[in-house]
């Protein structure tokens, strides 16, 4: 079962291994800059948020953001590239593997990129800054990151499957993904929102990602509302991604 | 069962436009079958249907007895595919490209490594196996795609214009490989080169607008069209006058002129006598029957106009 998915995932990991250093440099630069700029730049103005020191408040979100961004990026661009540029998807499709193998292999590649890059940013922030965590809280945090990387990898796969023009993938990123991430309270507490729109914001999958990750890391538990949201989003996106890819390939 | 490939009334429409029209075909096992046709005739569409990349709008096709509609996975186990455009993975080395293909076919390293060595030797790529394909020439990339299609020892090999863009040496060497495969597997190829079809194929089919126009061995096709009776006549003088005369004769189907040299296509065998009655002996420098080439057959079937 899914040996084909495993081979395709293996191919992606081999390619990632080859370029890991340059990938990591570029992937670490962004969250680290944000951490230094906001964490230190605003430290004098915002001492703490609901009792949590500001750098500690934003760090989990930056790590999650790196993971979900990497997952979305890899899945969308890789699917598009293999489908439209290199046409390797066509090569996979004339072997005995099924379309499910292909899409699942690709989703797990995006997921793995998210996991690897999130972990590295985590380690770098740990190494370079006074950010410290309770290690007993780590499993819940990792669960949260895994579920969110899964969701974003599936979203990326959907985009890479249905979008033919590369500039449109860039547009989806800046019009949908980035706002979703920034609205979800990485840099400010959700209580800053007017009470009228707060319930809407709390329904966003990204809110579950970032609030859930922060709570997991700081308290060791994911609030059940967010956990349900994360699991449902991942399951729903996975189903839609597999269905969409299957449909596209049957054209 | 002796048919490697069977097509039953295959139709493929792209929203309204019919690319393949009720196409039926049976290809004998162990033979080399060549599909010829102008740009847009529907060759690639047929290969995509047979390799399960595309579903036919109507009809069904079978590869080694497995339906492309209901047993796609079994079909794909049997086939090797060289697509019209190279689809190599430029982030993997030549060898890794072959190894990934083997893994997707469920092969183990102990089985695929010796096979890959053998194919790299056969295609002359052994020395470059650890290089990435985008550093290869077009011919080397093409040979790598062919090697990849052979890794799992398919029973039926599909080649969509395998030698387009290759130099004469590479073409010949690829022809030799394909000839070597005959009998051990069935080869289904498309080509625009008449000499290629002539040299390789046990059976040739010419198609256009999604339909079959002619079918047979190269010899049979040429024979059938020698009934078109094209004569070459070269005049010593009065070429202009003769052009008018020829154009007025009812049994002359076509006249092509190049200076004083005429190509005259007659309606049937008997027409040569009345033709001679209209020509004066001393005016003729030379007259001879023109042997048709496969290219003549092709042009007379598919017309001379370039396709949009
Ligand atoms: N995805 C598609 N959507 C719409 N029309 C298509 C599609 N693919 C092919 N066609 C049309 O179907 C017809 C047959 O195309 P096909 O690629 O099978 O031709 P071909 O015989 O392989 O030509 P060539 O010798 O140029 O490779 C063409 O008219 C083409 O425009
Ligand atoms: Mg074609």
**Ligand 1 near B164 CB (within 6 A):** no
In terms of pLDDT, which residue wins out, B93 or A24?
B93
Inter-chain residue contact B92 with A97, CB threshold 8 Å: no
Give the class (CATH, top level) of B3-224: alpha beta
| Residue tagged 């190509």 (tokens) | B263
CB B24 within 8 A of CB B7: yes
Q: How close B153 comes to chain A (CA, Å)?
A: 12
User: B94 C-alpha vs ligand 2 centroid, how far in Å?
Assistant: 25
Lowest mean pLDDT among A69-73, B8-12, B245-249: B245-249
Interface check A1 vs B, CB under 8 A: no
User: Per-residue pLDDT tens for A205-238?
Assistant: 888 888 888 888 888 888 888 899 999 999 999 9
Least CA distance to A95: which residue of chain B?
A: B76
CATH number assigned to the domain covering B230-291: 3.30.70
Q: Which of A96, A100, A248, A249 to mutate to test the interface with B (most CBs of B within 10 A)?
A: A96
User: B210 C-alpha vs ligand 1 centroid, how far in Å?
Assistant: 10
* Helix H or strand E encompassing A99: helix A99-128
User: Per-residue pLDDT tens for B122-132?
Assistant: 888 999 999 99
DSSP code at position A135: G
Lowest mean pLDDT among A39-48, A186-195, B208-217: A39-48
Query: Nearest ligand to the C-alpha of residue B43?
Result: 1
Nearest CA to ligand 1 atom 4: B14
CB B32 within 8 A of CB B187: yes
Task: Name the residue among A4, A90, A96 with its Cβ closest to that of B53.
Answer: A90
Chain A residues with CB-CB distance to B47 below 8 A: none
User: Per-residue pLDDT tens for A145-161?
Assistant: 889 999 999 999 999 99
**Ligand 1 near B157 CB (within 6 A):** no
Give residues with Cβ within 8 angstroms of B244, minimum separation 6.
Answer: none
Task: Name the residue among B55, B79, B92 with its Cβ closest to that of A11.
Answer: B92
Interface check A37 vs B, CB under 8 A: no
In terms of pLDDT, which residue wins out, B239 or A23?
A23
In terms of pLDDT, which residue wins out, A52 or B184?
B184
Task: Name the residue among B83, B90, B148 with its Cβ closest to that of A90.
Answer: B83
ipTM exceeds 0.90, yes or no = no
Nearest CA to ligand 1 atom 31: B40
What the block records as the tokens of A182 is 């920034």
Percent of chain B surpassing pLDDT 90: 52
First to last CA, chain A: 25
- Give the pLDDT mean for B76-93: 96
CB B21 within 8 A of CB B70: no
pLDDT at B305: 63
Tell me what the pLDDT averaged over chain B comes to.
87
- Dist. CA B193–CA B233, nearest whole Å: 28
pLDDT at A210: 87
Sorting pLDDT into bands at 50, 70 and 90, what band is B75?
A: very high
Lowest mean pLDDT among A37-41, A82-86, B23-27: A37-41
Chain A residues with CB-CB distance to B100 below 8 A: 7, 11
Inter-chain residue contact B92 with A14, CB threshold 8 Å: yes
pLDDT for residue B228 is more than 70: no
**Ligand 1 near B80 CB (within 6 A):** no
pLDDT at B227: 57
The number of residues making up chain A comes to: 251
pLDDT at B307: 60
Chain A residues with CB-CB distance to B101 below 8 A: 91, 95
User: Per-residue pLDDT tens for A156-206?
Assistant: 999 999 999 999 999 998 898 888 888 887 878 888 888 888 888 888 888
User: B209 C-alpha vs ligand 1 centroid, how far in Å?
Assistant: 10
pLDDT at A89: 96
- For chain B, what are the domain ranges? 3-224, 230-291
- Give the pLDDT mean for A25-50: 80
| Residue tagged 């979100």 (tokens) | A61
Inter-chain residue contact B106 with A96, CB threshold 8 Å: yes
pLDDT for residue B308 is more than 60: no
- Give the pLDDT mean for B17-37: 93
Interface check A14 vs B, CB under 8 A: yes
pLDDT at A212: 87
**Ligand 1 near B210 CB (within 6 A):** no
Strand order of the β-sheet with B58-63 is B17-28, B3-14, B58-63, B66-67
E strand spans, A104-213: none
**Ligand 1 near B84 CB (within 6 A):** yes
Query: Nearest ligand to the C-alpha of residue B211?
Result: 1
């Amino acid at each position: 079962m899914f040996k084909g998915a495993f081979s395709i995932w293996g191919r992606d990991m081999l390619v990632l291994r080859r370029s890991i250093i340059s990938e990591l440099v570029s992937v670490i630069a962004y969250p680290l800059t944000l951490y230094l700029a906001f964490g230190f730049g605003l430290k004098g103005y915002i001492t703490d948020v609901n009792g949590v020191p500001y750098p500690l408040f934003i760090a989990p979100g930056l790590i999650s953001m790196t993971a979900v961004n990497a997952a979305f990026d890899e899945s969308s661009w890789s699917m598009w590239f293999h489908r439209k540029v290199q046409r390797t998807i066509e090569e996979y499709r004339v072997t005995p593997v099924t379309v499910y193998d292909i899409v699942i292999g690709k989703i797990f590649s995006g997921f793995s990129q998210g996991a690897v890059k999130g972990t590295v940013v985590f380690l770098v922030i740990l190494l370079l800054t006074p950010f410290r965590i309770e290690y007993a809280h780590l499993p819940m945090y990792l669960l949260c990151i895994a579920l969110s990387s899964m969701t974003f990898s599936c979203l990326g796969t959907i985009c890479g499957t249905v979008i033919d023009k590369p500039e449109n993938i860039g547009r989806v990123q800046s019009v949908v993904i980035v706002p979703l991430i920034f609205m979800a309270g990485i840099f400010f507490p959700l209580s800053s929102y007017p009470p009228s729109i707060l319930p809407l914001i709390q329904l966003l999958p990204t809110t579950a990602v970032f609030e859930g990750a922060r709570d997991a890391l700081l308290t060791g538990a994911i609030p059940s509302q967010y956990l349900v949201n994360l699991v449902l989003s991942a399951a729903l996106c996975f189903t839609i991604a597999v269905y969409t890819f299957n449909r596209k390939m049957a054209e | 069962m002796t048919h490697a490939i069977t097509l039953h009334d295959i139709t493929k429409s792209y929203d309204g436009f019919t690319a393949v029209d009720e196409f039926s075909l049976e290809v004998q096992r162990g033979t080399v079958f060549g599909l010829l046709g102008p740009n847009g005739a529907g060759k690639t569409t047929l290969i995509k249907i047979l390799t399960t990349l595309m579903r036919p709008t109507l009809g069904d096709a079978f590869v080694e007895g497995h339906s492309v509609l209901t047993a796609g996975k079994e079909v794909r186990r049997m086939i090797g595919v060289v697509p019209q455009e190279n689809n190599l993975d430029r982030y993997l080395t030549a060898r890794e490209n072959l190894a990934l293909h083997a893994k997707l076919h469920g092969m183990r390293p102990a089985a695929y490594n010796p096979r890959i060595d053998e194919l790299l030797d056969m295609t002359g790529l052994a020395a470059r196996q650890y290089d990435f394909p985008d550093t290869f020439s077009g011919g080397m990339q093409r040979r790598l795609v062919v090697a990849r299609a052979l890794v799992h020892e398919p029973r039926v090999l599909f080649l969509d214009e395998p030698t387009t863009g290759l130099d004469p040496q590479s073409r010949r060497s690829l022809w030799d490989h394909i000839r070597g495969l005959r009998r051990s597997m069935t080869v289904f190829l498309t080509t625009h080169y008449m000499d290629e079809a002539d040299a390789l194929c046990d059976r040739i089919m010419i198609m256009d607008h999604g339909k079959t126009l002619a079918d047979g061995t190269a010899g049979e096709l040429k024979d059938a069209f020698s009934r078109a009776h094209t004569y070459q006549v070269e005049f010593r003088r009065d070429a202009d006058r003769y052009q008018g005369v020829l154009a007025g004769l009812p049994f002359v189907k076509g006249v092509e002129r190049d200076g004083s040299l005429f190509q005259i296509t007659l309606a049937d065998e008997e027409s040569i006598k009345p033709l001679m009655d209209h020509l004066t002996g001393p005016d003729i420098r030379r007259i001879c029957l023109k042997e048709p080439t496969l290219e003549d057959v092709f042009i007379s079937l598919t017309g001379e106009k370039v396709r949009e």
